[in-house]
Structure 1
Amino acid sequence: MKKILFIILISIIFCNISAQDISYARSIISELSSQKFHGRGYKDGGIDSAACFIENQFKEIGLKPIEKTFFQEFNFPTNIFHHIKLAFDEKLLEPAIDYLPNIHSCNVSDDFLTIKIDEKIRNNPKKLNKLIPKIKGKVLFLNRFETKDKTALNWYDNVAISNPYNAAGIIVLDSSFTYNIAEYYPQFTHFLIQLAPKSFPEKNVKKVHCEIKKDYVKNFPAKNIVSYLQGQEYSDSFIVITAHYDHLGKLENNIFPGANDNASGIAMMLDLAKNIKQQNFRPRYSLVFIALTGEEVGLFGSKYFVDNPIIDLKKIKFLINLDMVGTGSSGISVVNATIFKEQFNKLKQINDDNNFITNISQRGAACNSDHCPFFEKGVPSFFIYTTGKEFNEYHNTKDKADSIPLTAYEGLFNLIKLFIYSF
C-alpha cells in the first residue's frame, strides 16, 4: 500500500517537475561567485555579504527562521592575508596566478639568497649532506615535480612543513596547483609558497624578495544561516539539506570565485527550497535548509551546529549535504552509501525508474565535507557531489560561473526532490 501511495505521489510531483528553472540556479551561482563577494572569504566583508544574500533568498522564497533570526552566530580561528608580494630576481609574480602562499606562513619582508634541492641531490646522500649546512637563512627551492615516488613525495612534504634545515622560506615546485586555507599545523617560523607549473623559473633564481603580512584571528565572527519549511505531517521531525557558502577569498586583487565549490551546492539548496515551497503538496517531514560557513578552514560551521543544535539532532530523519554539484557527465558519488544501504537503494531505485543520472557511485564513510560532524553525532546522512572531467577547476581562480557546465544539475535536482518526498 505504501509503495502504491508513493507511486501516486511521484506522479503528482512529476506534474510540476518541468517547472524547475535552471536559470534561477545559474543566477545564484553567478551572483555568489561575482567580484562583489570577494571570493566569500574572510577579508573585505565578502563572507558577511554572502550571508546576507542567502538570508534574503530564504525570505523571498517564504521560508521561516527556526529561532528569532536566520543567523546562528559563532566564532572560529583563521588566518587572513593582508598583503603578499613575491619576486624572483626583480621579476614580480602574480599571487593566486603564479603562486600560492601556505596559510601557516610567517610574516616577512626581506630579500633572500636561494638554494635548491632536486632529485639528483636528494638521491645522493653525499651531495645532500654537503648542501644542508648552506640552507639556513636562505630560500629553499624544492623540485617536488621531478618524482612520483611516494617515499620521495613524503620527504619533500616533510621538509616543506617541518623545515628541518632552518630555511627562511621554502618554495615548492609541484605539478598540482590548488589553494587551501584549512588549519592543520601551528604557525610556521618560515614562509612556504607553492609555485604554479606555468611559472617555474627557466633558470636558477639567485634572489627572492618576499613580503607577507597576515593576522591570525582567534575569534573570527561567522554565521550559519538556517531556515525551515513545515512538513505535511511531521512538524518536529526533519529532512535537512546543507551546503557550505564560504570559499577561499582572495589574494591581493585576485579572487577565488568558487562557482562549483560551492556556489553550486547553495544554488541547488535554494532551488529545492523555492520549488518545494511552491508545491501544493509538501513532503511529510519538515525541511530544514542550512547554509554553513567555515567549511574550507575545517568544517567549523557544521561542527558548531551539531555542538549547539537549534533542532533536536535525534529528530533528523535524514540529511543531504550538497558540495560541488556543477558537473555530472559521469554521474554522482554518494558518500555514506555503504553505511545507509536502505536509503541508498531507495535513491538508486528512484533514479533507475526515471533515468535522471547516468551513474550513481557508492562510497563509504569519509570526513570530507559538512555531513561529517552530523554523521559523527549519529545523524543518518549522505554527501552528494557530481563527477566528470568536463570541468576540473578546483580551488583556483578559474572556478568561474560562466565556465561551470551544470551537466547533471536538472537530473540531480529531480532525483533529490523525489528522494525527499519518499520519506
Structure 2
Amino acid sequence: MMWKYYLFLSGISITCQTVLGQANIEQSPIDSKDLMTTVKFLSSERFKGRLPGTVEYEQASRYVATRFKNAGLNPLLGNSMLQEFDEEVNYILDAKVFLIDQNNRPTQPMYLGEDFVCRGFTGSGEVRGETVFAGFGIKTDEYNDYRSIDVRNKIVIVFKSAPPWKPISGSWGDTSPRGKARIAKELGAKAIIIIGEPQMTPNTMVYGSIACGPKPHIVDFPMIHAGSRLTDSLFSKLPFKPAEYYEMIKRDKAPHSIETDKSVYINVRAVYHEAKKTYNVVGYIEGSDPKLKHEYVILGAHLDHVGYQGDRLYFPGANDNASGVAGLIAIANAINKSATKPLRSVVFVVFSSEESGLKGSKHFVANMPFTADKVVAMLNFDCVGQGDSIAIGGKLSYPKLWKKAKKLDHKTTKLLSPRTFGGGGSDAQAFHEVGIPTLYFHTSGGYKFLHQITDKPETLNVLVFEKVVHLGYLTTMELANKNYKREMDRQKRKAS
C-alpha cells in the first residue's frame, strides 16, 4: 500500500544469519506459535482479504474483540469493543480482459491475478476499443498528455505515478487513479489501464490497492492494473517499451502519447456502496496506579487489507497486517500474565481502513475519550512479520522515546536497525499530528510481497517476528510504568 512504500525504499537489508547470531535474548513472554496461529487464521480465505465494509471484515473484527476479551481487556468506549463508522466499499464480482483483433474477435485472454487486477474502486462496464498510451494521464495548462491525441471511445493507458519532475505551478492536480480516470472519461475514453514505471515499488502491477483517491466514485468506468504480459502485449507494435517512453517524457518534459494499434475487451462487474459499516476494535487495561491510570499508552495496528476480486482471487495480507494485529493480541496476553501490572493504562486499537487513507486511526483520534495530552506515547505495529531485522520509525521527532526502545533492544533482542525517520507514518500519523509521541515498529527488508497474493504466512520470518513483538511488549511496559516523560516533536522545534 502506498502508506508503506517509503519504508521499503528507506529500509536496509542485514543478513539474517548474522543478525540472529547476535541475538541471545532472555526467555520471551511472546509465544511465536500463537503469533503464527493468529496470522494464519486472519489471512485465510475465510476472511477474503479483510476488506472494510464486508461481512468477512466484520467477522475478523469480532474475532479480534474476542481475543482481546480473553486477554483481559475491557471496552474503552461504552459497552462494546467495536467502534463503528461508515466507509465506502466496492465489491468486485468478476473481471475479464482479452486482446481483440480489428474484427472485435478475442485473440488472447488475460488472467485475473496473473496478468491484471482491478483497482479496488474500479467502475463496472463491458467495453471494447483501441488503446492509446497517454503518458501520465495529466491534463493541466502547464503539461497535457492529451494535447495531440483523440481518446474518444478508446481505452487509455497511463503510468501509475505523477511526472518525476516538479511542476512550475506547484501541483499536477489530482494524480490518483480516480483523478486520472476522471480526466480520461471527460475526454470521452471508455476505460483506463494503469501500468508501472521504472523503479516502481513493488516491482509488479499485479497487486491489490484500494487507495484510489477522493470521491465521487466513477460507477461506469473500469480501472485496470496491467501486469507484465498485458503491458508487453499492448506495446508490442510500438517502437519503444514503456520504460523508454518514461525516460523520454522525463527527458523532454513533454508528452509522447501515441496510439498503440492494439485493441482490448474489458468486462468488470462491481457493486459499489458509498457507506457501509466498518469497525475499529478498541480495548484497554486499566493502570494500577490511582493517578497514573488516567495517563495512557496506546498500541495500534490495522486489521484491514485490500480484499478480493472475483470468486478465486483474494489478498491474504499475512504480513500486512495480520502480523501487527497478532502482535497486539500477544502483547495483551503477555501483560495479562505478567506479575508486574502497568501503572498507566494501556489502550489497544485495531484500526479499519488504513489501506484507503488511514481513516480508522483518524476516526479514533477524533473521538478519543481523553485529551491528547493524556497520551504518553503511541506505538504502531505494521508489517512486523517479514524482513531480517527490527526497524522503528520516530527517532528524528522523538529521540528520547526511540532511545528507550534502543536500550531495551541492546539488552534483549539485539536486532534493531539504526535506520529510522520522523514521527508518524501509517496509523501513527493521526496521533503524531496532534502532538502525541509515536514509534512505528516494522522491519528492514520486509516488503517483498506487499499487497500481493503471495503475502502468506509461510513467507514470514518467525524469529524476527517474535522479537519485534517482544521488543514492543518491553517498550510498552517501560512506558506504562512511569519511565518516560512526553517530549515535543524535535523536528518541529528545529523548524521554528
* TM-score interval (norm. to shorter): 0.7 to 0.9
**Structure 1 position 241, deviation (Å):** 0.6
* More divergent stretch after superposition (200-209 vs 232-241): 200-209
Please identify, of 218-227 and 40-49, the stretch whose mean Cα deviation from structure 2 is larger: 40-49
Superposition deviation, residue 322 in structure 1: 0.6
Give the number of aligned pairs. 396
1:178-236 deviation per Cα after TM superposition (whole angstroms, max 9, x unaligned): 32202413434743322112443444574322122334422210111111112232322
Say if 1:182 and 1:297, in contact at 8 Å, map to a contact too.
Answer: yes
Measure, in 2, the Cα distance between the counterparts of 1:240 and 1:312.
13
TM-score by length of 2: 0.72
How far 1:274 sits from its partner (Å)? 0.6
* Identity between Structure 1 and Structure 2 (%): 23
What is the TM-score of this pair, normalised by structure 1?
A: 0.84
Distance 1:392 1:257, change over 3 A: same
The answer to whether the aligner puts 1:137 opposite 2:153 as a matched pair is yes
> What residue number does 2:254 align with?
none
Q: Deviations over 1:133-187 (max 9, x none)?
A: 3x31112345x59x998259x89x6995432753222223325323220241343
- SS state at 1:373 partner: helix
Match of 1:387 among 418, 430, 444: 444
State the superposition RMSD in angstroms. Answer: 3.1
Aligned partner of 1:246 in structure 2 is 304
Q: Is the 8 A contact 2:293 2:345 kept in 1?
A: yes
Match for residue 80 of structure 2? 69
Structure 2 vs 1, CA of residues 172 and 183 (structure 1 numbering), >3 Å: closer, same or farther?
closer
Does 1:369 pair with 2:429? no
Distance 1:326 1:338 in 2: 24
User: Structure 2 CA distance, aligned partners of 1:361 and 1:151?
Assistant: 27
Matching residue of 2:367: 308
Q: Identify the residue that residue 192 of structure 2 maps to in structure 1.
A: 170
State the match for 2:90 in structure 1.
Answer: 79
Alignment match of 1:193 (pick from 224, 236, 239): 224
Q: Is the 8 A contact 2:286 2:346 kept in 1?
A: yes
Distance 1:219 1:116, change over 3 A: closer
Q: Tell me which amino acid in the other structure corresponds to 2:30.
A: Q
* 1:414 maps to which of 453, 470, 490: 470
How far does residue 407 in structure 1 lie from its aligned partner after superposition? Answer: 4.4
Deviation per residue, 1:341-376 (Å, 9 max, x gap)? 21112221222233431424220145x311111222
1:276 aligned residue: 335
2:123 corresponds to which of 87, 103, 106: 106
Q: Which residue of 1 aligns with 2:112?
A: 95
SS of 1:235 mapped into structure 2: helix
Q: Secondary structure at the match of 1:370?
A: helix
Tell me the secondary structure at the aligned position of residue 23 of structure 1.
helix
Identify if the C-alpha distance between structure 1 residues 42 and 238 changes in structure 2 by more than 3 Å, giving closer, same or farther. Answer: closer
How far apart are the structure 1 equivalents of 2:295 and 2:459? 39
Structure 2: gaps (5+ residues) = 1-23, 101-105, 137-144, 167-171, 198-203, 238-260, 480-496
CA–CA distance in structure 2, aligned partners of residues 51 and 308 of structure 1: 19
Point out the more displaced range, 380-389 or 172-181: 172-181
Report the Cα offset of residue 16 of structure 1.
Answer: 8.1
Instruction: Please give the alpha-carbon distance, in whole angstroms, between the structure 2 residues aligned to 1:343 and 1:167.
Output: 52
Q: Displacement of 1:117 after TM fit?
A: 5.8
Q: CA deviation at 1:116?
A: 4.3
TM-superposed CA distance for 1:251, in Å, is 0.5
Q: In 1, are the aligned partners of 2:298 and 2:348 still within 8 Å (CA)? A: yes
Q: Secondary structure at the match of 2:355?
A: coil
Counterpart contact for 1:97–1:397, Cα < 8 Å: no
- Partner of residue 51, structure 1: 61
Structure 1 position 86, deviation (Å): 1.9
Deviates more, 1:224-233 or 1:191-200: 191-200
Q: Distance in 2 between matches of 1:383 and 1:265?
A: 11
Q: What SS does structure 2 have at the residue aligned with 1:52?
A: helix
